[in-house]
Amino acid sequence: MIIMIKVLVLCTGNSCRSIMAEMLINDLGQGTYKAVSAGSQPAGYVHPKSIETLERHGIAVTQSSSQSWDAYAGEKFDYIITVCDEAAKESCPVFLGEGKKLHWSTPDPAKVVGTEAQIEDAFDEAFGMLHARVTQLVAGTR
């Protein structure tokens, strides 16, 4: 019997970083992890560059939406991961539910203004940071 490790990934807007982390955990967790993501103030859409970046790197993209963390109030999670950026002085949402709390400071690629190449680089940088952290997380349970 496989024990599923439940993960909630939080950000403020739930449109970029938390979506990418959710998809990475579900893909790299190979059926051992079940991740969902949410935001304290959801944007109401998934940034198209998040999906493009995941697909470009060969990560399975399942249906996702930008949703409120209210959808998960009262649920138990093994891990609650925040992905806001400490360096940019973003305020991270504080989820009071049960679960081991982790913080993965990740710059917000959606805030980058520049050329198409600069924006793509910002998404790739965030993806790389999250991929490394997810790889470390799932390796710890195998």
Q: Which of 5, 43, 61, 92 is catalytic?
A: 92
CATH, residue 37: 3.40.50.2300
Q: What is the pLDDT of residue 52?
A: 96
Please report, for residues 15, 36, 44, 66, the alpha-carbon distance to residue 48 in angstroms, rounded to integers and kept in the order given: 9, 18, 12, 12
Domain count across the chain: 1
**Is 84 among the residues known to form the active site?**
yes
Q: Which of 7, 25, 84, 129 is catalytic?
A: 84
- Supply the pTM of this predicted model: 0.92
Q: What is the pLDDT of residue 96?
A: 67
Q: DSSP character for 9?
A: E
pLDDT tier, 132 (very low <50, low <70, confident <90, very high otherwise): very high
Q: Which of 7, 10, 11, 20 is catalytic?
A: 11
Integer Rg of the chain from CA: 14
Q: What is the pLDDT of residue 141?
A: 63
Is 30 buried (19+), middle (13-18) or exposed (0-12) by CB count in 10 A? exposed
Helical (H) or strand (E) element with 118? helix 116-139
- The residue to which tokens 């998404």 are assigned: 123
Condensed to tens digits (0 to 9), the pLDDT of residues 38-68 reads 998 899 999 999 999 999 999 988 888 999 9
**In 3D, which of 43, 50, 56 has the Cα closest to residue 23?**
50
Q: What is the pLDDT of residue 94?
A: 67
Condensed to tens digits (0 to 9), the pLDDT of residues 78-118 reads 999 999 875 545 566 666 677 899 999 999 999 999 999 99
pLDDT tier, 73 (very low <50, low <70, confident <90, very high otherwise): confident
Q: What is the pLDDT of residue 86?
A: 58
Is 79 buried (19+), middle (13-18) or exposed (0-12) by CB count in 10 A? middle
What domain range includes position 118?
A: 5-139
Condensed to tens digits (0 to 9), the pLDDT of residues 6-38 reads 999 999 889 999 999 999 999 999 889 999 999
